[in-house]
Structure 1
Amino acid sequence: MAGAESKSFSSPDETREFKGKGRAEVLVVNGRTVSKATFEPGWKWSVNLRPIAQTDSCQVEHFGYVLSGRMRVVMDDGMQFEVGPDDLFALPPGHDAEVIGDETCVLVDFGQVQSYAKPPGP
């Protein structure tokens, strides 16, 4: 069993800047990667992260909790939904997303975020 460990997003292990309008602060605690992502108004995955991911849609599995703001998610099959403050969500690979409105969207993601917002390796 892993030992006790505590970290704070005020001193993240890594900060991954998006191509404008936000960033992901990343912590690794007992081998588990968690991110706190900040998406500014006007952020859209297909504009601000597609150039980093180099995929047609987001291929990361997310499991998160929204702290503030709102986001619309559009799955590759056309299904859409919105998340906002106090919402918990599970999101499989194959989606686009965008901030709705003028408020920054902040969420904590416990999903498969080890490589989220990182350029693909050689």
Structure 2
Amino acid sequence: MQENSIETRRFEKPDQLLDMKERGGISIVKMADGSSGMRAVFEPGWTWEADEKPLLGSPESCPMRHTGYCMSGKLVVRMIDTGIETHLSTGDFFEIPPGHDAYVEGAERVELILFAPPEHQH
């Protein structure tokens, strides 16, 4: 791809899909420079522990840093070392360090858009 050209991708045609069945999923698109974008959909009842942890090889906590935007719903993110919970809701732009877990709060679907720089590979 040329350096001065514009690259577009769509979440409907992801490079990778973390399928969490009836609890949702994460569509991942990768750009030519190695950066990536993710669209996460978590249904009511979704928890990191039950629905995502097994897909990542069962680490103690989520090993990734997330920068993103909450498009809908409410997500509670807990830092494992401190136990501090942060409530994310529609309209929040956020930065979450590694070492967390999370769960959907309430009866509304959570939709997030996440961005990762080139050095952050799956």
TM-score normalized with structure 1 length: 0.85
Corresponding residue for residue 55 of structure 1: 59
Unpaired runs of at least 5, structure 1: 116-122
Describe the shift of the 1:19–1:10 C-alpha distance in structure 2 as closer, same or farther (beyond 3 A): closer
User: 1:99 maps to what in 2?
Assistant: 104
Q: CA deviation at 1:20?
A: 5.1
Alignment of 1:1-122 (within 5 A): 1=3, 3-18=5-20, 21-30=23-32, 31-53=34-56, 54-76=58-80, 77-111=82-116, 114-115=121-122
Letter in 2 for 1:40: E
- Identical counterparts, % of pairs: 34
Change (3 A) 1:2 1:26: farther
The CA deviation at 1:40 is 0.5
Shift of residue 83 of structure 1? 0.5
Q: CA RMSD in A?
A: 1.7
Kept after mapping to 1: 8 A contact 2:18/2:55: no
> Shift of residue 48 of structure 1?
0.9
For residue 49 of structure 2, give the secondary structure of its aligned residue in structure 1.
helix
Shift of 1:2: 5.7
- TM-score normalized by the length of structure 2: 0.85
Distance across 2 between alignment mates of 1:2 and 1:15:
29
SS of residue in 2 equivalent to 1:48: helix
Deviation at residue 84 of structure 1 after TM alignment: 0.8
